[in-house]
Amino acid sequence: MSFLKIGIPRSVLLCLLLAPGAWAQQPTATAPALACTEALAMTPAHLYGTWQLTLWRPEGSETAPTSTGTLRFERHPEFPGSVRGHLQRTATGVSSQALVSGDVIEGQFNLDESSDGIAIDAAWVGAPQDCGQTIRGTRLPAESRAQEMEPLQFLLRKSPGWL
């Protein structure tokens, strides 16, 4: 018998062929709906992963961004109630990178941005929306950078998938 050539023992083959309903389509369970995480219930773990970034001037709109990029958050190694991550963005053909640290407390998202890992360049303040899948707010320059940076509006959209 040809089935034996591929290594299926005759007893297993007979059980498969004779078992009632062995070839019947089994009903598939539908995936449970994901619970909506309200802004007040968000924890740092809800921020983990990759987020798509859009920045625009307050008088403009997110459809005409001044900069786009990604933010990647992971557990902060020193502060368990916070996140640490990397920002990569492009503005008018110029790419930049920065380190970020922040948290979400009582529904408010706070983030510090630093290009050198020492001095704070900007502070981000926003609010989670859409069951924690988006965050909107304002990116404000640090006092020391106020002359060279302008305030910008931001939108973060959670990318699907694992870290």
| 3-class DSSP state of 51 | strand
33-80 pLDDT per residue, tens: 557 888 888 999 999 999 999 999 999 999 999 999 999 999 999 998
Higher pLDDT, 53 or 27: 53
- State phi, psi for 141 to the nearest 5 degrees: -70, 145
- Put simply, whether the predicted model's pTM sits higher than 0.85 gets the answer no
Higher pLDDT, 32 or 86: 86
The predicted pLDDT at position 146 comes to 92
| 3-class DSSP state of 21 | coil
- State phi, psi for 136 to the nearest 5 degrees: -120, 145
Closest CA to 118 of 133, 134, 101, 104: 101
The predicted pLDDT at position 17 comes to 43
- State phi, psi for 81 to the nearest 5 degrees: -90, 15
- DSSP of 112-132: EEESSSSS--EEEEEEEEGGG
Burial 9-36 (b: 16+ CB within 10 A, else e): eeeeeeeeeeeeeeeeeeeeeeeeeeee
User: pLDDT-derived band of residue 162, with 50, 70 and 90 as boundaries?
Assistant: low
Higher pLDDT, 24 or 110: 110
The predicted pLDDT at position 33 comes to 52
Domain residue limits, the chain: 39-158
105-155 pLDDT per residue, tens: 999 999 999 999 999 999 999 999 999 999 999 999 999 999 999 999 999
Classify residue 93 as exposed, middle or buried by CB count within 10 Å of its CB (0-12, 13-18, 19+): exposed
User: Could you tell me which CATH class the domain 39-158 is placed in?
Assistant: mainly beta
